[in-house]
Structures are given as C-alpha cells and as structure tokens.
Structure 1
C-alpha cells in the first residue's frame, strides 16, 4: 500500500493537476455528452468531449486561483478542522486523476441512452455500443495533449518573465505584468491575424487546386443549351469543378422524355466560373449573354441559384425543377469562391452577398428589358444554406422580394440571414420559432416539412416565398447570442426531431450547437442540414403546382430517384 501511495505521489508531483480543474472538467465532459441537435460519431464525440474537458479545466483553475487569492485568506478554521481538511485535500489530489478516468467511462456508458434516443429521433442508425466506449479514450488523449501544450506555453511564459526580470532589472510583479501584456498582444495578433491568414491561404490553395480537377463522368456539353457547350460564350474549362459538374449533369431532352413518358424540352443550364471573368458583374453579364444566346425567354421559367461556397448547385434541386417542368426551364448560377461553404461562411459572407446581389439584379434586369411582345418567363429564386444569404442580399425586405420575383424556395437559412431573422422575430404571437407563422401565412411561409402543403387550400397570396428549416439544423439556430441568451426555440416545445432533454445552459449550449455545426449532416434526410428529399414538395409549393397530392409526390419522387441514380450530390 505504501508503495502504491508513493507512486501516486510521484505522478502527482510530475503533473500537479488541479482538483478544482479536474472537477469542472468532469462537469464539462458530462455536459458534452448530453443531448444536442444531432447524433455524433464516436470519434467526433471524443474530440468534442476532450476539448470540453480542457476548457472546463481552465475554468476550474481560474476559479481555484480566485478562491486562494481573495476568499481563502478570509477564512479561519480550527487547527483540527484545518488538519482534517488538508488530509482530505491530499487524498483528493492523489485520487482525482484516476477518479476522472473512471468517471468518464461511467458517464459515457450512462450517456449511451441519450445518444441512442437522438439517433432514433432523426431516424439515424444507432452506432454499436462498443463504438461509444471508445469515446473516453479519445477524449482523454485530446485533453492530455491540450493540457501538455498549455503547460508548455506556461513554462515559456515563466522563462520569459525570468529573462526580462534579470536583463532589465525589473521587479517580479512588473516583469509578470509585462509578460502578460506581451503574451496577450501576441495571442490576439496570432488569433486575429496570422492564424486566419495562414488558414485561409492554405484553404484557398487547396480549394483552388481542387477547382481545376476533372471529375469522373464530367464531360463538355454537346448541346447549345449548356454553358461550355457549342456556341457558348463561356469556356467549359473556366467553369470550375462545381460549374463543370452542374452543366454536364442532369438528364437531357431524350432522357427526360424517356423517363417521363411524355414530350420534354432540353433543359437550359447556364453558369460562369471564377475563371470566366474577373468580377461578379462581369460573370453576371456573361450569364445574361448566355440567356439571350439560348433564347431562355421562351422557357416557362428561369431559376436563379446563388451558389454556396465552391460554386455548388444542389443537383437534387436542379433535377427536381427540370422534372416538374418537363425541361421547360433555364437554371443560372455563378461561382464566387473556391472555398467550402463552412469556410466561406466565416470568411466570405460579404463576397457571397455581393455575388448573389449581382446575379439576381442582372437576371431581373434582363427579364425587365425584354420587349413587350416577347414572352416573359416566370422568375424563381432557389438558395440553400449560404446561398439563401446570398439571395437575400439583393432585397430590402419581403415586400421587395414579392415585387421582384415569382417565387422563392430557400432551404436551411443561416441564423445570420437579415430578412429571415426579422420575419421570425416578428412572427404571429403564439407561433414557434422553429415553424413560425408570419401575417397568417399570406405573404411568406416557414415549414419543417413542405409535404404539409400537399392538397393545401389555405390562402397564400402569390408569389409564394417559402423557407424550409429543420428544428435540428444547427446552421439555422447557431448564433453567438447562445453564449448568454436563452433562444426562443429552446424555450418552446421541441420541434420535429429535437430531443426534449436538450435544455439551455449559458455558455455550454453555445459550445454544444457549435459542435453540431461540424456535424450538420450527421442525421438522415429531413433532419439537420439535409433537405434533398423535401425539395420536390418545396418546388411544388413555390410554383403553385395544381393537383399536387400524395400520389403526384410519389410518382415524381420515383422519377427523381431514377434520375439521380447516375448523379452524385457533390
């Protein structure tokens, strides 16, 4: 027994972990395992728990420091109580690290029920029990690694203070203050300048290289109705990876006719990439040239799609509207960035908005400039995720939208969307934030599942503007306000798929939803940030398609599934 205690003491002397820090780290670990919006894979949950423990440990150390400096000196205990307290504290210090390991394993085992329930709610497969039990070891590895790194930085700081104190003959407190100021300035500069610059430069280089890649099955169009094809004013090689995927994807006229067993038009797909022209306005002008070249005014509808991140257009959305219109439609988009959508959300939101505004204004201006005796196609707007923010940027509000286009379908809008947020905040009293009602649903509608509009005859004044948003989509609900403000959606009965055990805790909920952002497509279709299976119902609602009922949906869903068999989502 003595030998064991000696070993524990030696390990303690090496590591000197804070009991308070470990206690708060354990609390943070427990919170990280509580229900959130979406289920997490074991390795991702391990990372989230490990980082949470490290943050909790730092909070605990800060609390201990404040206690020792300001509270403990004011407390006087009887010598016997003081001696007993020191013995208990010694025991706690020796046993705390090992208790933490046992606690983490036990907490994970008890949290499995929560994770299984979240998986069931979003109709996702439950991971094997053995996978869950890997979480503690990943979490401990992450926690220890971060702790070692932090202690290394602390030792560098202490060394700096000693060197400054000796060289400049400063007092210890002055040297410490100088070191703290310089460390803060350096850290702020790195976080605000160096790290983001290096990160975005690296992301740009990697994404730029990917932008020039050739995807299997991506070939230059052979029909004039596609950008990059015969007679196009846009070079196929300049469209970027996602642009080339878009114009070479989808069913052509013959395939549509064969699939639908009725005559179909050749769908028009027009696009301009970053390499097609230098500015947003120049790229938008190229799209307008393409609209004129392909005689797009003869089509029943033109769909404007402000893209997300790399210039991606959801092939499910494009194929759905082409099926519903039997190909009598033109779809247009432009690229504004190489970066993936989540990086663009951090760094390129202004670029996304500028590109969306330019494209929408150019196409709206094109339709308005058509001669009176020429057919004026319906103008629809589609956006997904960051694409909704790019689309909103062209308008001052809901009245401006309704006066400009003939319908809007926006899926998974980020919480930072200006128009969306103002509508949700001004929703009709008594309606939930997850599915708000604005002006009795006459002007704009919100839906967790647009299947509710099949056979719907409630008043909805055209043009139809529809936001589709899931109660489990972290992109929709994440905001910095979660740090200290309880959001409305967590004060209401849970929306579809959200675990009723998810409650609001200042700071902790912010980190939970932030972690969910990295796992936004971790559920199944119809939950989280996955909207593909709801696009058909969304288009039918926005275009005011007549006699759209369950039977029609099933028929087109089958056609859509067959059409997408040879197409990758990207």
Structure 2
C-alpha cells in the first residue's frame, strides 16, 4: 500500500514544472514576511497557499512564453536530475526556515500591537493549510485547462485551431464568471442576508428599551423598539446619561438625544431617512447646540466611543441621528454592496440638512457628521469634495475610511507636496487634517473652522487595501512606515495584496490605536474639531478614562 501511495506521489510530482516550483518557493518565502497586523496561523496558511499557487502559475507561464517564442532546448537527464535535486534542497532548507522566521515575525507583530504571544506549535499547520489550498487551486486550474482543450478539439472541426482555442477560452471565462456571480455570489449572499436578517431581530445581552423620551424606541417614540434592529437597539439604549456626563466633566449636562430608524421601517432608504427626521422633530433635536448625522456600518453599528465622546465633550447638549440601511454585515457589504451605503449616506444627510436649513441661522444647531469604515464611505457620499464638506457642515470626523471612498481618495491624492499618504497635509491644514494619534492634528498653520478630521491608522488594512497592491507599490509603503507598523514590512507583488486582504478579517480584534480599532482618543479629536468654550485638558483626560473604563 505504501508503495502504491509513493508511486502516486511520484506521478503527481512528475506533472509539476521545476520553474513553476522555484517561483512558488519564492512566493512562499515572501508570504511569510510581516504584513500590517498579526494573523492567526490558519489565515497565514490561506495567504501562503494562494501566494504559492499564483507563484507556480507565474513560473509555468514564463516557461510557456519561452516555448512559444521558439526557444527550446534538450536538457540531459543528468542535468534534469541535478535541477530537481536543487529544487528539493532549496525547499528542504527554505520551507522550515521561513516557517520559523514567519512565526517569530508574527510574535513580534503581536508584541507591537499589545497582544499576548500565540502558540508557536500551531505554525506547522500553516504548511498543511498552504499545501491544501495551493493543491486545490492547482487542481481547479488544471480542470479549466482540460475543459478548454476538450472544447477546442470539438470546435476545431468547424473553425481553424487558433480561432477554436480563442472561442474555448472565452466560453470557459464566461462560465466561470456566471458561476461566481450567480450560483456562488448571489446564492451565498442570499443565504447570508436571510441569516443576518433573522439575527437582526435579536437583542444584545444587557440592552434594554430606553424610557427617556429623547431616545427612539422609547414609549414616547414613533419608532417601535422591535423595528430598530439589533445594532439600533444597542445604540439608542447606550451612551452616557446626564448624571454621568456631569460627574465626569463637572458641569451641568442634558440627556443626549439619540434618534434612529431601522431598515424595516420603510421600503426605501429615503423613507427611512424621513422617519429619522421625524424623530428629530419629535425630540426637539434642532434646539440642541450640536447635531450629528451618522452613517452606520453594514447592519447599523455606530462606534460607541466616538458617539459617547461627542456627547461628553458637548455636555449632552447634543443630538445624534442615524439609521440602518442593510441586514448584511459590514464585511459582506464591503465586498458585494457598495451602492447602498452611499445611497443611505446621501439620503440621511440630505434629509437632515433640508430640515436644518429651513431654520433661521441663529436658531439651529451646529451640524457635524461622523462615521466609521463603511459608515465613513457612505457618509462622504453626500459630499462632492472636501470643500463641499467644509461648506455644508460645522465639522466632521471620518474614521477608518476605506481606500475606495470619495472624496477621501481625491483629497489624499491632491495632498501637499512632500506630505505622506498615510498622514496627508491638505492646504497646509487649513480646514482638513489627518490623524493617527490626536497630536497629529497639531500643525504650524492656524486651524480654521469648520474643522474636518480623517482618523486613520498606518496599520489599518481597511484603509490601505486596494487592487493596486497587486502590481504597484503604493506611496504609504515608499514613505517612512508608521510607528504602529513593523519596520520589516515591504511591498511584494501579488503577495502583499493577499496579506492585506486577509489582515482585514481580524483588523478590529486588536487594542485601540492599531488596525481598525478606534477608541477613547475620539474625545481629544472632538475637542479639537469643536473647540468647546472654557475647556481644559483635565476634562479630556477624565472623558478618556470614562470611555476606557465604562461603568
């Protein structure tokens, strides 16, 4: 039995191309190098497996091009044997070496972001998963190649061989696209949405219906508690009370207003937005000092630190307006539905802005906007440019913005010369500033109102993920790396793209200040944006502590 298994392994090995294996080995080595964030061993295995498969394909492709160019040589069997021996020797040395180095680099990354050490013993699993993933991808590729050849042979009886091959490739590509977009893409999304919608009817542990009339979902509200969705219920039931705000700031405070409408409350995002405005009118939110419009992520989540910090800094004399626009989790919306967040962001801001603009200038609150991740992406869709944000708001805080968001991308691209992509300076910081830490907003130029802050970490894969990473080194990897990024990080074609892609999965599962985790530093940023009167730094420290250790 062992002899049969050994002969099968030899037969499979003989089908592999030595050039492809050499490039695959190079990609294996590259894939083990540090990325933005520490990854679980099983995700490292997936990243490595994909990289190895692509490397093998590139190597085989190069060899095929050489053959197509008519460059052929007869390699003596002795030389071929030596070549295979070199490949085997390199693999025997480099694979275990970089498994150990990769494990050590991941531990260094965990230490950098303040995570406890991981079990090194699991790292042997990286090799097993990588081989499995690479083999599966290779088998799928060979199956497609076999199908193309069979189809070419069938068509070749009707049209010349070159045309038959072209038609076969086109048909195979079309079938793959339809399979992914139809049976897999739409099917999986449909199942995910139905599952998410069912989960949306649950309520998080410890969340109870608010009794204060200043909250949607309360007995006084026109929005039914059950219609708000899981994240909406958490939002309106959370946040500091007037008593808690006074205890922290030492100043009189009001009960903050939080209004919200769930996706089930209307058939369209415009209809949901209109219900939010109705709640603003009911709670007399336009009589508060500051009104914030918040576009949520995916299922309706609002960062509790950013929202509570906003309320603390303004002594509860605030109103926050938000809404749910989807049942899908942010990760799926990020991949499959980027239109709805933009439509929701525009609908909500435009509806609130119209109601706000109808009031006399001296009888309406300051109007600010904020949002995180997909919420930042959707919220910015209400504005044509950075100048438009400045002209129609009294301030903004956009957190963890995805790379494809506008006008973020345009503002970043048009940054002042010699400023960094990870921390751009725009018009010397006249209105718009970028920050990884609160102190980053301190620039030489006087900061004029309205003030807009883009809060982003150098180690956040959500902000830096882009298809451009496949073949082009971005500016943020040409510049000095951020303090929260491993100094050994280098851009590697194709490999870096897959590393950053998988970094996104657990990008929020790190301490605040790293990756996609944004916390109590929001207090200082709101102080910088709004510059509340008679403020002292001791209040900021107390708010930071209150957010860090909520009761």
Normalising by structure 2, we get a TM-score of: 0.91
The equivalent residue for 1:236 is 225
More displaced 10-residue stretch of structure 1: 92-101 or 328-337: 92-101
The equivalent residue for 1:413 is 401
What is the DSSP-based 3-state SS (H/G/I as helix, E as strand, rest coil) of the residue aligned with 1:39?
Answer: coil
The equivalent residue for 2:472 is 485
Residue by residue over 1:389-432, the C-alpha shift from the partner in whole angstroms, topping out at 9 and shown as x without a partner, is 21221122222222211110111111222222222222222211
Matches within 5 A, 1:34-433: 34-73=33-72, 75=73, 82-83=75-76, 86-90=77-81, 92-93=83-84, 96=87, 100=91, 103-155=94-146, 164=154, 179-257=168-246, 262-371=251-360, 375-433=363-421
Residue by residue over 1:9-44, the C-alpha shift from the partner in whole angstroms, topping out at 9 and shown as x without a partner, is 652224422222222111111111112211212121
Q: CA deviation at 1:71?
A: 4.4
The equivalent residue for 1:568 is none
Matches within 5 A, 1:517-536: 517-536=504-523
More displaced 10-residue stretch of structure 1: 381-390 or 543-552: 543-552
Q: CA deviation at 1:346?
A: 2.5
Residue by residue over 1:35-59, the C-alpha shift from the partner in whole angstroms, topping out at 9 and shown as x without a partner, is 2211212121111111211121222
**Residue 452 of structure 2, aligned match among 448, 461, 465:** 465
Tell whether the 8 Å contact from 1:12 to 1:94 is kept in structure 2 after alignment: no
Q: CA deviation at 1:453?
A: 5.0
The equivalent residue for 1:13 is 11
Shift in CA distance, 11/93, structure 1 to aligned 2, threshold 3 Å:
farther
The equivalent residue for 2:499 is 512
What is the DSSP-based 3-state SS (H/G/I as helix, E as strand, rest coil) of the residue aligned with 1:518?
Answer: helix
Shift in CA distance, 304/382, structure 1 to aligned 2, threshold 3 Å:
same
The equivalent residue for 1:539 is 526
Alpha-carbon distance in structure 2 between the residues aligned to 1:199 and 1:242: 23
Unaligned runs of 5+ in 1: 566-570
Tell whether the 8 Å contact from 1:40 to 1:522 is kept in structure 2 after alignment: no
The equivalent residue for 2:540 is 553
What is the DSSP-based 3-state SS (H/G/I as helix, E as strand, rest coil) of the residue aligned with 2:541?
Answer: helix
What is the DSSP-based 3-state SS (H/G/I as helix, E as strand, rest coil) of the residue aligned with 1:225?
Answer: coil
Alpha-carbon distance in structure 1 between the residues aligned to 2:196 and 2:444: 47
Q: CA deviation at 1:355?
A: 0.9
What is the DSSP-based 3-state SS (H/G/I as helix, E as strand, rest coil) of the residue aligned with 1:269?
Answer: strand
Alpha-carbon distance in structure 2 between the residues aligned to 1:18 and 1:429: 48
Alpha-carbon distance in structure 1 between the residues aligned to 2:517 and 2:5: 53
What is the DSSP-based 3-state SS (H/G/I as helix, E as strand, rest coil) of the residue aligned with 1:437?
Answer: coil
What is the DSSP-based 3-state SS (H/G/I as helix, E as strand, rest coil) of the residue aligned with 2:401?
Answer: coil
What is the DSSP-based 3-state SS (H/G/I as helix, E as strand, rest coil) of the residue aligned with 2:35?
Answer: coil
Alpha-carbon distance in structure 1 between the residues aligned to 2:83 and 2:506: 37
What is the DSSP-based 3-state SS (H/G/I as helix, E as strand, rest coil) of the residue aligned with 1:305?
Answer: strand
Q: CA deviation at 1:541?
A: 1.2
Q: CA deviation at 1:271?
A: 0.4
What is the DSSP-based 3-state SS (H/G/I as helix, E as strand, rest coil) of the residue aligned with 1:363?
Answer: helix
Q: CA deviation at 1:561?
A: 2.7
1:501 equivalenced with 2:476 (yes/no): no
Alpha-carbon distance in structure 2 between the residues aligned to 1:497 and 1:18: 41
Shift in CA distance, 398/177, structure 1 to aligned 2, threshold 3 Å:
closer
Shift in CA distance, 98/145, structure 1 to aligned 2, threshold 3 Å:
farther
Q: CA deviation at 1:141?
A: 2.6
Tell whether the 8 Å contact from 1:105 to 1:133 is kept in structure 2 after alignment: no
Unaligned runs of 5+ in 2: none
Alpha-carbon distance in structure 1 between the residues aligned to 2:303 and 2:127: 37
Q: CA deviation at 1:6?
A: 10
Shift in CA distance, 165/243, structure 1 to aligned 2, threshold 3 Å:
same
More displaced 10-residue stretch of structure 1: 170-179 or 140-149: 170-179
Alpha-carbon distance in structure 1 between the residues aligned to 2:161 and 2:394: 71
